[in-house]
Amino acid sequence: MADTHVPAQSDSLESINTGPARPVALENIETRLNELWREVASTAQNRGGSGAVTMAQVLNLIVHAPSYDAASEYMQETELITGRHPCRVISMVQDHDDPDMPVQGLVSMFCQIPPAGGRQVCCEQVTVTSGSNSLRQLPAAVLPLLLSDLPVFLWWPQGAPFDDYVFRQLADSLNRLIVDSATFENPEGTLSRISSVLKSNWPRLASTDMNWGRLTTWREIIASFFDGPALRPYLERIGRVTIEYSMSGKGRTVNRGQALMMAGWLASRLGWQANDNAYRLVHADDQLPPIVHLSLRSGKRPVEIYLRPTMRQAEVPGSLCKVRLVVPTQGTAGQQGEVQASFEVALCDEPGDPGDAWSEVQVEGMTPTHRNIHLDAFSRADLLDIELEVYSRDKVYEETMNMVAALIKGVSSGRDTEGPRRLISGEAISAAQTQPPRNRPPGTPGTPGNTPRGNMP
Amino acid sequence: MVTLLNTNIIDNPLREGLRFQHSADPCVIVIFGVTGDLAHRKLLPALYNLAVERRLPANSAIVGFARRELSDDVFREQARESIEKYSRNKPSQRPALWDTFVKGLYYVQSNFDDPEGFRTLAARLTEVDAERGTLGNRIYYLSTPPEYYTPIVNNLGAAGLANTMAAVTATAPPDGSGNGSSGNGGNGAAANTVQLNTGYLSTGQLAPLPGTDTSWKRIIVEKPFGRDLASAQQLNRDIGEIFTEEQIYRIDHYLGKETVQNILVFRFANGIWEPIWSRRYIDNVQITVAESLGVEDRASYYDTSGALRDMLQNHMMQLLTLVAMEPPAAFETQAVRDEKAKVLRAIKPFTIQEVAHNTVRGQYGPGAIYGKPVPGYRQEHGVPPTSETETYVAARFFVDNWRWSGVPFYLRHGKRLPKRDTEIAIQFKPAPLSLFQHTAADEMQPNALVLHIQPDEGISITFESKVPGPNIRLRSVDMTFRYGASFGVEVTDAYERLIMDCMMGDSTLFTRRDEVELMWQIATSILDGWSHIPAPTFPNYRAGSWGPANADMLVERDGRTWRRLL
C-alpha cells in the first residue's frame, strides 16, 4: 500500500556485487547461483554483518535486449529496484547482427544492503545470449530458468515484441508484458494493434506501457480539477481538448504515443465515441509536423481533440507538455470557438526544475486560479519499479488502448520491430543514428575487445 | 486500507484506476499549539508533503493557533524553517511550490482558554473560507498540553465552530466586525471574489444557503488521552458535549504505520495463518517495544506519565488488539473497531494481587548504550532525583475468549534498552514429539512468526533445519520478508496517512471512545495495584540492559523466556 513512490535510487545504499557476470553452461546455472548465494553470505559476514542473507524472490523479470551492451545497461537499471523487488532477472540477448553469438549463460548476483547495516536483499542476474543463427534456441534456454509459482514479467524496453519469434514462444508463460511506446518506430501503427493482437493471441497476458506510466501524474492533476461538486458538471460538457507534445531531444522524431493515450484515456473515461475516420492531419506550420485532429462525439455533442507538436525538446520523444480542456460556450464550436470554462495543466517554459509546472482553471463568472505544481519526472527504473508492483490487468489502460485503436483505425498499418529506429517518411526529421561498436560477453569465442561491466565489489 | 465514501465526495470518472480513487474536500486545518514540537517536527512537514504530492486539496489552508505573539509572516517563516529541517520534501527544492503552499498558512494568537481568541479565530476562519474556498470544512488538531483539551473544545463550542449548523450562524462575528467578508452564510455581496470551492476552484454562486450547509468539522485529539480511566472518561464526556463521536479522531500514530496496518492484511488476506491463529497452535505472544533512547527533552511530561501510560496503555494495547481480534464482518470502520473493542473487553482488569503477579516495573540507572556511557533516569535533565516514575513496564495478559484462552500475551516496553526494536512475536507450540532422539533437547526451538514494526519493518518466520554434516544437528533459520523502508525507501509517514484519513472522513485507524476507555480500564487496574503494593527499589536496571531481573521471572515462571532480540 505504498502511497508514495520514491524514485529508485541506489546511490545512498551499499551493495554487494559478485563482480562481472561469469559464463556458465546453461544446465549449471542453478548450481552457480547457489554458489553465489554462499559467496554473498560470506562477504556479508566478513563485513561484520550477521551473515544472514535474505533469500526472497518475489517475481521473475525477463528483459529483452538487442545486444549484450544493451543487456548490461538494462541490468544496471534493474539493480536500482532490487531492494523493492527481489527477483530473478533473466536478460535475454537477441543479437540479430551477430550471427555467431552462441547461446550461453552468464550469472551474477547483486545485493542491496539497507543503511542500518541490516540484511541484504539480492537479485539473481542471469544473462542468456543468442545471435541471429541461434535465437531459435533462446526460448528453451530461458523457460527452465523461471522460478516456479512466481509471476513472470517481460520487460521489452525497445520497440514492440508482437512479431518476434522468441516473444511468441514465451508469451504463454508470461503474466505481464511491459513495453515502452516512446521507443516505437511507428507508434500509431503499433498502438492501434496492441489491444487486438493481445486479445486474439494471448487473452490472459496483461500488458502495460511505460508511456502510460508517464501519464499518471497528468491524469491525477486533470482528475483533481473535477473532484468538487462545483466543477464536476463541466466534465460532461468538455467540447475541445488540446494536447501538446514535445519532439525528441535527439532528432525531431514525432511520437504521438503519449498524446494519443491521453486522448484515449479522456475519451474512454468520459464515454466519448470516435467518429468514422476520426483521425485527420492538419498542416498548420511548415516548421512543424502536422497537427492531428480527432473527431469524436459525446451523445450528439461533438468533441474535438487536437494533438499538437511543439518545438519543446524532451528526453523522451512525445512527452506531454500541455493539456487544455475547454468547455465551449453553447452554440460555438471548432478550434476558435468561445470558451465558457478551461482547465489547463502545463510544464513551465522557464528553465528550472524540469518538473515545474502550473495548472489553471478559468470559468466564466469566477475568479481564475493559477497554481504552481510539480510533475514527477520518472526515470525508466522508476517506471519499471511502479509497473512491477502491479500483477494484474489494468482495466483503465486496456480501455484506453481500445479507444486509441478506434481513434486511429486504418490510419497506419506499419509495424514495429526491434532494431535501428526508422522514421515515418514525411513525418519527421531525424539525426542519423550510428551504431556503436558491439561487445560480446566475456568468454565468448572470438570476442572482440569487450568492456566488462564496471560493477566490481 | 479502508477508504470510506464521504458523502461530500462525488463520483469522478477520471479517478478510476488512479492511486487515489477519491480526493478529500478542501478544508482548513486549525492546529492548536502550533508553536510546539509536534507541530513543527511532524504536522507541518506532513501537511507540506501531502501538498507536494498533490494529496492535499490545492486550496486547503492551515491556521496555526498558539499563545506566542506571531504575525502570519513570522509564522510562515518559522514553518518554512521547520519543514526545511524535518520534511523529506524541502521548500528550497521547489520554491514555486512553496510559494503556493505558504499562501495558505495563517496564524491566530490567543490563550487556549480565552473565549475572545476563539471569536477572533471564527472571524479569521470566515475570511479564510472566503479567500480560499474551504467551504466551512475544518479539522481542529489538538497538539497542546492535555490540560488545554477541554478549554479548547468548550471554546470551539461557544464560538459556534464545532458543528455545521452552529458554524452557519456564527459566520457573522458577534461584534459585527467581519472585515468585509461575510462568509459562507449565503450573503451574495462578495460573490464575484468569494471562492467557495469544492475541489479546485470555487464560485460564489454555489455558496450554501443557511440550513443546507454540508460542511464538516472534525477534531483530532493527540495522546495522552487522559491519565487514568476517570480522566479519560471525563475527557470523552467533555469533548462529547461539543462534538459527536463521528467528529472525534483520537490519534494513535502507531496505527498509521504501514507495518501495523499490514498486520490485518497479513492475517486476513492469507489463508494459511487463520487456521493456526489460536490457542491450539500458539503458545504465547510477545510484544516488545524497546527504545535505546532515554527521556531526552520530554522529562517534564514523561515524569508525570511513565512507561505504562506513555506506551503500554495505548500503542501496545492497540498492537495486541490487532493480533488477537477476530476477522471483522467487513473491512469497514465500525466493524474493525467492534472487533478490537471485543478483544479489550475479553482482557479482565487486574486485582491488586494479580498486578503483583502479572506486572513488573523498572527504572533505569546509569549504564551504557552502544558503548557510550549514559546517565540514569534520575540524573537526566529535568527529572527529580527521587523520581519513582517507571521507565520500564512488562505485563502478562490473558484474552479470555475461545480463541485465546490460556495463551499469555507478554508485553514489555522500556527506555534505555540495548537497541531500538518493536516487534510482535507469535511463538508456536513445539513439535509434539521429538523424533531426533540424539539431539540435545534444547537445540529444538519452537517456531516463531515475528512481525517487525520498527526499525526494520518486515515479517520473518523461524523454523528448524538440519545443519549439514553426518550427525543430526538442528539449527533455527529464518525466512524474512522486509519492507521497502529497510532499504532506504521511504514509506508514507504515519501522520500523513492519518491526517489524510481524517480529511477523507475515515476513522478506522483512530481509536473509538469505548476502545480508549477499555484500554484505560486495564491500565488503571495496574496503576491502582502499583499504588497498593510496595514499589521496587529504583533504579532496578542498568541502561543498556534488557530490563529488571523480575521481568525475566515473569516469563520464566511460566517455563518460557523472552525472545532475544539481536
pLDDT at B442: 55
For residue B336, give every residue at least 6 positions away whose Cβ sits within 8 Å of its Cβ, in sequence order, or none.
B2, B264, B325, B328, B508
Higher per-residue pLDDT: B133 or B165: B133
Higher per-residue pLDDT: B34 or B210: B34
CB atoms within 10 A of CB A411: 16
Q: Which one, of A152, A180, A159, A215, lies nearest residue A77 by Cα?
A: A180
pLDDT at B366: 96
C-alpha torsion sign, points A350, A353, A355, A357 = negative
| A54, A80, B68 from B457: Cα distances, Å | 14, 20, 39
Higher per-residue pLDDT: B437 or B477: B477
Please check whether residue A148 touches B, CB under 8 A: no
**Which residues in chain A have their CB less than 8 angstroms from residue B258's CB?**
1-2
Q: Which one, of A16, A8, A248, A13, lies nearest residue A110 by Cα?
A: A16
A226:B200 CB<8 A: yes
pLDDT at B491: 62
B13:A235 CB<8 A: yes
pLDDT at B140 over 70: yes
For residue B487, give how far its alpha carbon lies from the nearest alpha carbon of chain A (Å): 4
Partner residue opposite A365 with nearest CB, options B203, B479, B490: B203
- % of chain A exceeding 70 in pLDDT: 79
For residue B230, give every residue at least 6 positions away whose Cβ sits within 8 Å of its Cβ, in sequence order, or none.
B524
pLDDT at B41 over 70: yes
Is B438 assigned a catalytic role? no
| A205, A399, B201 from B206: Cα distances, Å | 48, 35, 11
Residues of A numbered 319-378 whose beta carbons fall under 8 angstroms of chain B's beta carbons: which are they? 348, 352-353, 356, 361, 363, 365-369, 371-374
Write the Ramachandran bin of B243: left for phi over 0, alpha for psi from -120 to 50, otherwise beta.
beta
Over range B422-448, report the average pLDDT. 80
Determine the residue type at B226. G
pLDDT at B59: 85
Could you give the CA distance from residue A67 to residue A69 in angstroms, rounded to a whole number?
A: 5
Q: Are B278 and B404 in contact (CB under 8 A)?
A: yes
Long-range contacts of residues A439-443, Cβ cutoff 8 Å, at least 24 apart: A439/A67, A439/A68, A439/A69, A440/A68, A440/A98, A440/A101, A440/A129, A441/A21, A441/A23, A441/A68, A441/A93, A441/A104, A441/A106, A441/A127, A441/A129, A442/A20, A442/A21, A442/A22, A442/A23, A442/A106, A443/A22, A443/A23, A443/A104, A443/A106
Higher per-residue pLDDT: B10 or A15: A15
For residue B134, give how far its alpha carbon lies from the nearest alpha carbon of chain A (Å): 11
Residues A62-71: tens digit of each pLDDT: 999 999 999 9
Please check whether residue A119 touches B, CB under 8 A: yes
| B150, B261, B390 from B22: Cα distances, Å | 33, 20, 45
| B308, B395, B412 from B550: Cα distances, Å | 16, 11, 12
Beta bridge partner(s), residue B450: B425, B460
| β-strand pairing of A301-314 with A240-248 | parallel
pLDDT at A229 over 90: no
pLDDT at B128 over 50: yes
pLDDT at A118: 52
pLDDT at A323: 97
**Which residues in chain B have their CB less than 8 angstroms from residue A119's CB?**
480, 482, 486
Inter-axis angle of helices A216-225 and A257-270, nearest 10 = 40
Residues B62-108: tens digit of each pLDDT: 999 999 999 999 999 999 999 999 999 999 988 888 998 999 999 99
pLDDT at A274 over 60: yes
Confidence of residue A85 (pLDDT cuts 50, 70, 90): confident
For residue A396, give how far its alpha carbon lies from the nearest alpha carbon of chain B (Å): 6
pLDDT at B194: 31
Residues of B numbered 36-55 whose beta carbons fall under 8 angstroms of chain A's beta carbons: which are they? 52-55
Lowest-confidence region among A288-292, A324-328, B522-526: A288-292
Residues B158-202: tens digit of each pLDDT: 999 997 544 333 333 334 333 333 333 333 333 333 333 334 443
Confidence of residue A155 (pLDDT cuts 50, 70, 90): very high
Higher per-residue pLDDT: A21 or A30: A30
| β-strand pairing of B61-66 with B28-32 | parallel
Could you give the CA distance from residue B389 to residue B430 in angstroms, rounded to a whole number?
A: 38
Lowest-confidence region among A23-27, A362-366, A436-440: A436-440
A116:B456 CB<8 A: yes
Indicate the burial class of B564 (C-beta count within 10 angstroms; 0-12, 13-18, 19 or more).
exposed
Q: How far, rounded to the nearest angstrom, does the alpha carbon of residue B190 sit from its chain's CA centroid?
A: 41
Cell numbers describing residue B80 = 518554512
Residues B237-262: tens digit of each pLDDT: 999 999 999 999 999 998 988 778 88
pLDDT at A122 over 50: yes
Confidence of residue A210 (pLDDT cuts 50, 70, 90): very high
Give which of A13, A268, A350, A366 to mutate to test B binding, by max B Cβ within 10 Å. A366
Q: Are A54 and A119 in contact (CB under 8 A)?
A: yes
Partner residue opposite A366 with nearest CB, options B201, B265, B492: B201
Could you give the CA distance from residue A431 to residue B466 in angstroms, rounded to a whole number?
A: 63
- % of chain B exceeding 70 in pLDDT: 86
Residues in chain A: 457
Higher per-residue pLDDT: B417 or A289: B417
Partner residue opposite B487 with nearest CB, options A52, A112, A367: A112
Higher per-residue pLDDT: A453 or A372: A372
B9:A230 CB<8 A: no
pLDDT at A421: 34
CB atoms within 10 A of CB A202: 17
pLDDT at A251: 54
Confidence of residue A119 (pLDDT cuts 50, 70, 90): low
pLDDT at B342: 98
Could you give the CA distance from residue A269 to residue A258 in angstroms, rounded to a whole number?
A: 16
In whole numbers, what is the pLDDT of chain B averaged over residues? Answer: 86
pLDDT at B437 over 80: no
pLDDT at A317 over 70: yes
pLDDT at A201: 92
pLDDT at A98 over 90: no
Could you give the CA distance from residue B449 to residue B408 in angstroms, rounded to a whole number?
A: 16
Q: Which residue of A has its CA nearest to B11?
A: A227
The answer to pTM > 0.80 is: no
Residues B195-226: tens digit of each pLDDT: 333 344 433 334 444 555 778 999 999 999 99
B199:A52 CB<8 A: no
Q: Is B422 helix (H, G, I), strand (E, B) or coil?
A: strand
Give which of B486, B495, B498 to mutate to test A binding, by max A Cβ within 10 Å. B486
For residue B30, give every residue at least 6 positions away whose Cβ sits within 8 Å of its Cβ, in sequence order, or none.
B62, B63, B65, B121, B125, B138, B139, B140, B141
Confidence of residue A440 (pLDDT cuts 50, 70, 90): confident
Q: Is B316 helix (H, G, I), strand (E, B) or coil?
A: helix
A371:B193 CB<8 A: no
pLDDT at A25: 83
Could you give the CA distance from residue B34 to residue B108 in angstroms, rounded to a whole number?
A: 10
Please check whether residue A143 touches B, CB under 8 A: no
Helix (H), strand (E), coil (C) string for chain A: CCCCCCCCCCCCCEEEECCCCEEECHHHHHHHHHHHHHHHHHHHHHCCCCCCEECCCCEEEEEEECCHHHHHHHHHHHHCCCCCCCEEEEEEEEECCCCCCCCEEEEEEEEEECCCCCCEEEEEEEEEEEECCCHHHHHHHHHHHCCCCCCEEEEECCCCCCCCHHHHHHHHHCCEEEECHHHCCCHHHHHHHHHHHHHHHCCCCEEEEHHHHHCHHHHHHHHHHCCCCCCHHHHHHCCEEEEEEEEECCCECCCCHHHHHHHHHHHHHHCCEEEEEEEEEECCCCCCCCEEEEEEEECCEEEEEEEEEEEEEECCCCCEEEEEEEEECCCCCCCCCCEEEEEEEEECCCCCCCCEEEEEEEECCCCCEEEEEECCCCCHHHHHHHHCCCCCCCHHHHHHHHHHHHHCCCCCCCCCCCCCCCCCCCCCECCCCCCCCCCCCCCCCCCCCCCCCCCCC
pLDDT at A368: 85
Please check whether residue B26 touches A, CB under 8 A: yes
**Most confident of the following: A46-55, A391-400, B9-18, B523-532:** B523-532
Query: Any idea which residue has 474535438 for its cell?
Result: A304
Residues of A numbered 288-317 whose beta carbons fall under 8 angstroms of chain B's beta carbons: which are they? none
For residue B18, give how far its alpha carbon lies from the nearest alpha carbon of chain A (Å): 7
In this predicted complex, what is the ipTM?
A: 0.81
Over range A129-144, report the average pLDDT. 90
For residue A417, give how far its alpha carbon lies from the nearest alpha carbon of chain B (Å): 30
**Most confident of the following: A364-378, B66-80, B491-505:** B66-80
A224:B58 CB<8 A: yes
Q: Which residue of A has its CA nearest to B420?
A: A116
Could you give the CA distance from residue B323 to residue B259 in angstroms, rounded to a whole number?
A: 12
Query: Any idea which residue has 502495460 for its cell?
Result: A208
For residue B357, give every residue at least 6 positions away whose Cβ sits within 8 Å of its Cβ, in sequence order, or none.
none
Partner residue opposite A228 with nearest CB, options B193, B198, B482: B198
Could you give the CA distance from residue B281 to residue B386 in angstroms, rounded to a whole number?
A: 46
Over range A204-215, report the average pLDDT. 94
Confidence of residue B515 (pLDDT cuts 50, 70, 90): very high
Partner residue opposite A220 with nearest CB, options B54, B480, B484: B54
pLDDT at B8 over 50: no
| β-strand pairing of B138-142 with B248-250 | unpaired
Which residue out of B40, B253, B315, B452 is catalytically annotated? B315
Over range A334-345, report the average pLDDT. 81
pLDDT at A7 over 60: no
Q: Which one, of B263, B272, B343, lies nearest residue B1 by Cα?
A: B263
pLDDT at A331: 65
pLDDT at A449: 40
Could you give the CA distance from residue B301 to residue B316 in angstroms, rounded to a whole number?
A: 19
Over range A151-155, report the average pLDDT. 95
E-assigned strand segments in B415-515: 421-428, 448-454, 458-466, 474-482
For residue B274, give every residue at least 6 positions away whose Cβ sits within 8 Å of its Cβ, in sequence order, or none.
B267, B268, B327
Confidence of residue A248 (pLDDT cuts 50, 70, 90): low
Q: Are A97 and A85 in contact (CB under 8 A)?
A: no
Q: Is B191 helix (H, G, I), strand (E, B) or coil?
A: coil
Cell numbers describing residue A374 = 510539480
pLDDT at A215 over 70: yes
**Which residues in chain B have their CB less than 8 angstroms from residue A270's CB?**
13-14
B487:A83 CB<8 A: yes
Q: Which one, of B277, B280, B255, lies nearest residue B266 by Cα?
A: B277
Could you give the CA distance from residue B555 to residue B394 in angstroms, rounded to a whole number?
A: 10
Q: How far, rounded to the nearest angstrom, does the alpha carbon of residue B85 sit from its chain's CA centroid?
A: 22
For residue B486, give how far its alpha carbon lies from the nearest alpha carbon of chain A (Å): 6
**How many Cβ contacts (< 8 angstroms) between chains A and B?**
185
pLDDT at A352 over 80: no
- % of chain A exceeding 90 in pLDDT: 41
Q: Which one, of A235, A212, A157, lies nearest residue A396 by Cα?
A: A212
Higher per-residue pLDDT: A390 or B61: B61
Confidence of residue B57 (pLDDT cuts 50, 70, 90): confident
